[in-house]
């Protein structure tokens, strides 16, 4: 309906200003904490004595082993993404549509792998696919140092991304629409294909994109499970920067990675350009029910079996190893400072980690929320749509590049953040924001614009429209997003290393430190602390799940 | 709608926090305060609390420590930020990285008090005193005692042994391009067999079934059958490239403590590492930095290092704990190499090693 009444036109110009306001914060955030540091380190590599050496690009790309690394990086990411979708989409359906005891706990638990430091996961995963692992015991199959170990570990890590991004929307799709199609004579498959699948499309694409970006920039998994024979672009950038100190080559590879990720984002934007359709969202609590019939029970059992073998088993190994001392000896050791490696008891790392995670989550939700709000507006122009892709770029740039960039760019007033604690949550939020945006966008875009227009016509301010219309609908997505950001921050390791002081370690830093030393007690404490990290993550995620008890204003 | 209100309040608060964090540069927390001295190091830095407290009390400086990742990463970061350094003293540049640090002008000269107590074999950069040796350690093949006694096989004692058929498929080592013990082991073979000979040696080692993994953690805690972690992970390699000080750690961190170490060191397979500290070129608190370097040469600190960082002291008369003398004495005749030579060949060697061993 055309609303050409004067007061509405006035509102339109005001809304343009409001949109600019919404975009300003995320743009500033990314310019200062991402674009500027990365540009600085790339420039340092390519600009020698005031001369730009772009010729280096061709030198580096001309090397056969670099081309080999590029090829491997790409195909393993594609294969990992396909495998993750294949294994996790049924899981997304089960979590969205079925009610079963322990569902909330399980949903929190499947997210745990996603936040564990790779150094720990590698260890756990070897128990599944390595020598004497489960597969070895059952069928004599050993997958470590094969590409299969890498692919399976990527599924293990990213299962939750699909379950949460796709499942979050799926749970709110109105099942009656599909039922209506069935009434009109469509087969079950046709009804699903024509009604549900198109509605889910954007969320599936978003999940696939995220998984792809994660696996494309995979570092620890490739190193530990694949062994040194496999190398991704990320590993190569780390080597060139940290070991060989060839900043020019590192800069070229960073640019290549950047362009590759940019191209992927462009393709993604182009394929989902069909504007996300307006959906009828209902309260998730109404759509889930107990499974009915043998088929549904079988599906539920199958999904649970996959979760147990692929996700819970490696985690269980960590727990079992942490309990491997008489009367919880490893846990008791965590409460004692040994005065050297740990000036404080390792257990104090929990508090540090939680503090960083809370701040990082707030930053991510604030920046990501504003960005998502700006991006959902009907009148969002091309610039803003480009901004959508831009937000994903941090996931595709190597942590070591961003880290070194921070060091050389954020070192002067007014931005002398190198030794400030805020740097850690900022860096973590950089990774968290894309999650927040990706989780919220599909839901926000699905909100019927006519509701907003109607509210505006009735005289509600933009803020009030957002509060009364958008917020109740996106609260769940917001909490899922916050949960993601929180979890990412808890397990984040790369940026934290920067200002991790001996008296102030975070959980992953403390784990890495323990694993870096010989001796039974150190190894056992590393396992115990990893278990603590898992429990803390699971509890945090569970609390977020429970937070949405406030049932007011939901339709 | 409590939650929006909360978010608003928090967002405002957050803005203030960020602002105050931006505005507080140049104050005490950036290391500029003359009473704070900042040490930049790699992640293995460790010192006993009371030892550090004693230094702080006696010197009047408060010590702040920044850990900057592993050894290579930390050195590279320090070089990148040398015009506006993150601290005053850098600790942890080793002999494989020393030339890179010196050539890039990372340090300013300072002859530490107590330099005359440094044992002659550890002295370096005598003319300029840009760095001060602080500790030493040996990268050596460790063996699983139980395995060799069970199989009635003598443990290997030299590089030459490792390529004998009797030790086929027993050794696990680390990737020389991403792991410092892995690199040390490669340099040990290069020192032993010469610029040309080491490649032949590695061909034989590869034919003899050497396994290469990415890092020390994995080699030692997963693949090696003699370590506590490796036993739990059912590791099946009784030989691993680790440190001469690993056996004492297996004893010290076991509960209850065994009377003998479960692992031993193959004495003829060692490569010696040295670690240095230096005063950063543009240190904001040079005086505090000098005091800190002096402190690192005191017998107190030198005697405190072994059980914290699992390294050996470099000054005369420092007390080595008995666990070390008993279970893991330093190697008798380790391989060594001149830092300048390492700098010249390192990248080429690692490259050839990679294509030879990994491809």
Task: State the sign of the Cα–Cα–Cα–Cα dihedral A29, A35, A38, A44.
Answer: negative
- The pLDDT, as a whole number, for residue A503 is 67
Chain A CB contacts of B45 under 8 Å are 502
Q: Does B19 touch chain A (CB under 8 A)?
A: no
The shortest C-alpha distance from A53 to chain B (Å) reads: 19
As a whole number of angstroms, the distance between CA B305 and CA A199 comes to: 62
CB contact under 8 A, A417 and B76: no
Burial of A458 (0-12, 13-18, 19+ CB in 10 A): exposed
Q: Which residue has the higher pLDDT, A435 or A357?
A: A357
Mean pLDDT rounded to a whole number for chain B: 89
Distance of CA A97 to the CA centre of its chain: 23
Q: Does B47 touch chain A (CB under 8 A)?
A: yes
CB contact under 8 A, A339 and B48: yes
Q: Helix (H, G, I), strand (E, B), or coil: what is residue A522?
A: helix
Most confident of A294-308, A527-541, B65-79: A294-308
Tokens 């990463």 appear where? B73
For residues A484-506, give the mean pLDDT.
Answer: 72
CB contact under 8 A, B26 and A522: no
CB contact under 8 A, A44 and B177: no
B249: closest chain A residue by CA: A519
Chain B CB contacts of A235 under 8 Å are 178
The shortest C-alpha distance from A403 to chain B (Å) reads: 10
Q: Which residue has the higher pLDDT, A373 or B193?
A: B193
Chain A CB contacts of B100 under 8 Å are 245
CB contact under 8 A, B25 and A497: no
- The pLDDT, as a whole number, for residue A494 is 65
Select the residue from B32, B229, B324 to test the A interface by mutation, using most A Cβ atoms within 10 A: B229
Chain B CB contacts of A502 under 8 Å are 45-46, 65, 67
The shortest C-alpha distance from B250 to chain A (Å) reads: 4
Residues B293, B129 contacting (CB under 8 angstroms) = no
- The pLDDT, as a whole number, for residue A287 is 77
Per residue in B320-353, pLDDT (tens digit) is: 889 888 888 888 899 999 999 999 999 899 999 9
Would you say residue A362 has pLDDT above 90? Answer: yes
Q: Which of residues 281-320 of B touch A (CB under 8 A)?
A: 304, 307-310
Q: Does B82 touch chain A (CB under 8 A)?
A: no
The shortest C-alpha distance from A336 to chain B (Å) reads: 13
As a whole number of angstroms, the distance between CA A213 and CA A553 comes to: 36
Would you say residue A2 has pLDDT above 60? Answer: no
- The pLDDT, as a whole number, for residue B204 is 97
- How large a percentage of chain B has pLDDT more than 70? 91
pLDDT band for B2, please (50, 70, 90 cuts): very low
pLDDT band for A437, please (50, 70, 90 cuts): confident
Q: Helix (H, G, I), strand (E, B), or coil: what is residue B172?
A: strand
User: A-B interface: how many C-beta pairs under 8 angstroms?
Assistant: 198
Sequence-ordered alpha helix ranges (H) in A98-133: 103-115, 118-129
- The pLDDT, as a whole number, for residue A29 is 93
The shortest C-alpha distance from A45 to chain B (Å) reads: 11
pLDDT band for A497, please (50, 70, 90 cuts): low
- The pLDDT, as a whole number, for residue A3 is 45
For residues A291-310, give the mean pLDDT.
Answer: 92
> What is the Cα gyration radius of chain A?
24
As a whole number of angstroms, the distance between CA A414 and CA A417 comes to: 9
End-to-end CA distance of chain B: 61
For residues A291-316, give the mean pLDDT.
Answer: 91
* Among the partner residues B213, B246, B347, nearest to A518 by beta-carbon distance: B246
The shortest C-alpha distance from A260 to chain B (Å) reads: 25
Residues A526, A514 contacting (CB under 8 angstroms) = yes
Chain B CB contacts of A325 under 8 Å are 255
As a whole number of angstroms, the distance between CA B172 and CA B178 comes to: 15
Characterize B98-136 residue by residue with b for buried, 16 or more Cβ atoms within 10 angstroms of its Cβ, and e for exposed.
Answer: bbbbbebebbbebebebbebbeeebebbeeebbbbbbbb
Q: Does B210 touch chain A (CB under 8 A)?
A: no
Helix axes A507-515, A520-546, angle to 10 degrees: 160
CB contact under 8 A, A502 and B46: yes
B6: closest chain A residue by CA: A362
Chain A CB contacts of B305 under 8 Å are none
* Among the partner residues A229, A343, A523, nearest to B358 by beta-carbon distance: A229
Per residue in A210-238, pLDDT (tens digit) is: 899 889 988 888 888 888 888 899 989 98
A360: closest chain B residue by CA: B14
Pairing of strands A51-52, B239-243: unpaired
Per residue in B157-192, pLDDT (tens digit) is: 999 999 999 999 999 999 998 899 999 999 999 999
Chain A CB contacts of B84 under 8 Å are 411-412
CB contact under 8 A, B73 and A242: yes
- The pLDDT, as a whole number, for residue A554 is 27
- How large a percentage of chain A has pLDDT more than 90? 22
CB contact under 8 A, B227 and A123: no
For residues A53-61, give the mean pLDDT.
Answer: 85
Per residue in B106-139, pLDDT (tens digit) is: 999 999 999 999 999 899 888 899 999 999 999 9
Would you say residue B15 has pLDDT above 60? Answer: no
Mean pLDDT rounded to a whole number for chain A: 83
B307: closest chain A residue by CA: A340
Chain A CB contacts of B310 under 8 Å are 517-518
Between the alpha carbon of residue A301 and those of residues A291, A307, B3, B103, the distances in Å are: 11, 10, 37, 63
For residues A106-130, give the mean pLDDT.
Answer: 80
- The pLDDT, as a whole number, for residue A275 is 47
CB contact under 8 A, A242 and B76: yes
Q: Which residue has the higher pLDDT, B277 or A470?
A: B277
For A251, the enclosing helix (H) or strand (E) is: helix A247-271
- The pLDDT, as a whole number, for residue A45 is 93
pLDDT band for A36, please (50, 70, 90 cuts): very high
DSSP for A6-48?
HHHHHHHHHHHHHHHHHHHHHHHHHIIIIIHHHHHHHHHHHEE
Tokens 């193959």 appear where? B266
Residues B97, B71 contacting (CB under 8 angstroms) = yes
Q: Which residue has the higher pLDDT, A364 or A539?
A: A364
CB contact under 8 A, A501 and B86: no
Residues A503, B49 contacting (CB under 8 angstroms) = no
pTM of the model: 0.86
For residues A68-88, give the mean pLDDT.
Answer: 95
Select the residue from B22, B257, B355 to test the A interface by mutation, using most A Cβ atoms within 10 A: B22
Per residue in B88-102, pLDDT (tens digit) is: 999 999 999 999 999
A64: closest chain B residue by CA: B355
The shortest C-alpha distance from A339 to chain B (Å) reads: 5
For A267, the enclosing helix (H) or strand (E) is: helix A247-271
Between the alpha carbon of residue B222 and those of residues A331, B59, B172, B233, the distances in Å are: 21, 44, 10, 6
């Amino acid at each position: 309906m055309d609303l050409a009444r004067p007061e509405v036109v006035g509102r339109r110009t005001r809304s343009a200003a409001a949109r600019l306001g919404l975009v300003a914060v995320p743009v500033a955030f990314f310019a200062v904490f991402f674009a500027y540091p990365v540009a600085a380190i790339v420039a340092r590599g390519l600009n020698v004595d005031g001369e730009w050496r772009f010729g280096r690009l061709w030198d580096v790309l001309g090397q056969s082993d670099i081309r080999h690394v590029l090829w491997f990086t790409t195909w393993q990411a594609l294969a990992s993404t396909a495998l993750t979708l294949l294994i996790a989409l049924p899981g997304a359906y089960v979590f969205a549509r079925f009610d079963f005891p322990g569902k909330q706990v399980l949903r929190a638990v499947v997210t745990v792998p996603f936040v564990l430091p790779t150094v720990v996961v590698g260890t756990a995963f070897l128990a599944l696919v390595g020598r004497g692992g489960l597969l070895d015991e059952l069928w004599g199959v050993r997958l470590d140092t094969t590409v299969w170990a890498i692919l399976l570990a990527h599924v293990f890590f990213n299962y939750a991304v699909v379950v949460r991004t796709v499942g979050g929307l799926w749970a709110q799709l109105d099942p009656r629409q599909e039922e209506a199609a069935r009434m009109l004579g469509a087969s079950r498959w046709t009804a699903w294909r024509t009604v549900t699948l198109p509605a889910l499309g954007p969320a599936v694409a978003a999940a696939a994109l995220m998984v792809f970006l994660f696996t494309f920039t995979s570092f620890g998994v490739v190193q530990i499970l694949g062994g040194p024979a496999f190398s991704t672009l990320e590993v190569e950038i780390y080597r060139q920067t940290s070991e060989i100190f060839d900043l020019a080559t590192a800069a070229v590879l960073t640019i290549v990675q950047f362009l590759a990720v940019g191209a992927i984002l462009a393709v993604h934007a182009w394929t989902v350009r069909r504007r996300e359709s307006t959906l009828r969202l209902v309260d998730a609590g109404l759509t889930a029910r107990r499974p009915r019939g043998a088929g549904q029970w079988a599906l539920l059992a199958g999904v649970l079996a996959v979760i147990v073998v692929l996700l819970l088993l490696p985690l269980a190994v960590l727990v079992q190893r942490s309990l491997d001392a008489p009367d919880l000896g490893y846990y008791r050791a965590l409460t004692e400072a040994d005065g050297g490696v740990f000036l404080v008891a390792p257990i104090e790392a929990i508090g540090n980690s939680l503090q960083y995670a809370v701040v990082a989550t707030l930053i991510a939700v604030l920046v990501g929320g504003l960005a998502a709000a700006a991006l959902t507006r009907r009148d969002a122009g091309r610039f803003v749509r480009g901004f959508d892709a831009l937000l994903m770029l941090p996931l595709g740039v190597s942590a070591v590049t961003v880290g070194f960039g921070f060091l050389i760019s954020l070192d002067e007033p007014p931005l002398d953040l190198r030794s400030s604690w805020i740097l850690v949550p900022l860096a973590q939020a950089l990774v968290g924001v894309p999650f927040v945006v990706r989780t919220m966008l599909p839901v926000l875009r699905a909100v019927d614009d006519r509701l907003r227009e109607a509210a505006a016509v009735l005289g509600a301010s933009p803020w009030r429209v957002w509060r009364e219309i958008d917020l109740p609908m996106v609260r769940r997505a917001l909490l899922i997003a916050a949960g993601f950001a929180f979890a990412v921050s808890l397990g984040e390791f790369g940026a934290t290393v920067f200002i991790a002081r001996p008296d102030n370690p975070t959980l992953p830093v403390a784990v890495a430190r323990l694993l870096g030393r010989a001796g039974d007690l150190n190894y056992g404490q590393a396992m115990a602390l990893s278990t603590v990290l898992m429990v803390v993550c699971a509890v945090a995620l569970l609390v977020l799940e429970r937070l949405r008890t406030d049932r007011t204003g939901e339709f | 709608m409590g939650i929006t209100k909360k978010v608003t309040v928090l967002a405002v608060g957050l803005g203030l926090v960020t602002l105050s964090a931006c505005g507080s540069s140049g104050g005490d927390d950036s290391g500029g305060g003359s009473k704070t001295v900042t040490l930049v190091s790699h992640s293995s830095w460790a010192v006993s609390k009371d030892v550090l407290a004693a230094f702080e009390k006696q010197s009047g400086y408060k010590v702040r420590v920044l850990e900057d990742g592993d050894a290579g990463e930390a050195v590279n970061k320090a070089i990148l930020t040398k015009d506006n350094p993150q601290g005053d003293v850098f600790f942890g540049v080793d002999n494989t990285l020393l030339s890179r640090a010196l050539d890039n002008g990372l340090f300013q000269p300072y002859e530490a008090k107590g330099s005359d107590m440094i044992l002659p074999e550890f002295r370096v950069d005598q003319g300029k005193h840009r760095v001060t040796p602080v500790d030493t350690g040996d990268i050596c093949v460790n063996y699983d005692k139980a395995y060799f006694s069970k199989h009635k096989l003598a443990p290997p004692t030299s590089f030459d042994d490792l390529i004998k058929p009797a030790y086929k498929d027993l050794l696990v080592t680390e990737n020389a391009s991403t792991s410092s013990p892995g690199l040390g082991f490669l340099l040990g073979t290069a020192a032993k067999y010469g610029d040309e000979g080491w490649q032949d040696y590695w061909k034989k080692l590869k034919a003899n079934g050497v396994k290469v993994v990415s890092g020390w953690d994995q080699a030692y805690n997963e693949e090696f059958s003699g370590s506590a972690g490796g036993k739990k992970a059912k590791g099946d390699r009784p030989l691993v490239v680790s440190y001469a000080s690993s056996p004492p750690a297996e004893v010290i961190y076991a509960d209850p403590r065994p009377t003998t170490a479960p692992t031993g060191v193959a004495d003829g397979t060692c490569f010696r590492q040295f670690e240095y500290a230096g005063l950063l070129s543009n240190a904001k608190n040079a005086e505090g930095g000098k005091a800190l370097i002096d402190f690192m040469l005191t017998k107190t600190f030198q005697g405190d290092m072994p059980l914290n960082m699992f390294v050996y002291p470099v000054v005369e008369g420092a007390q080595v704990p008995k666990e070390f003398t008993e279970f893991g004495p330093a190697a008798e005749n380790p391989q060594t190499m001149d830092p300048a030579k390492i700098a010249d060949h390192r990248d080429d060697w690692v490259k050839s090693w990679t294509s030879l061993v990994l491809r």
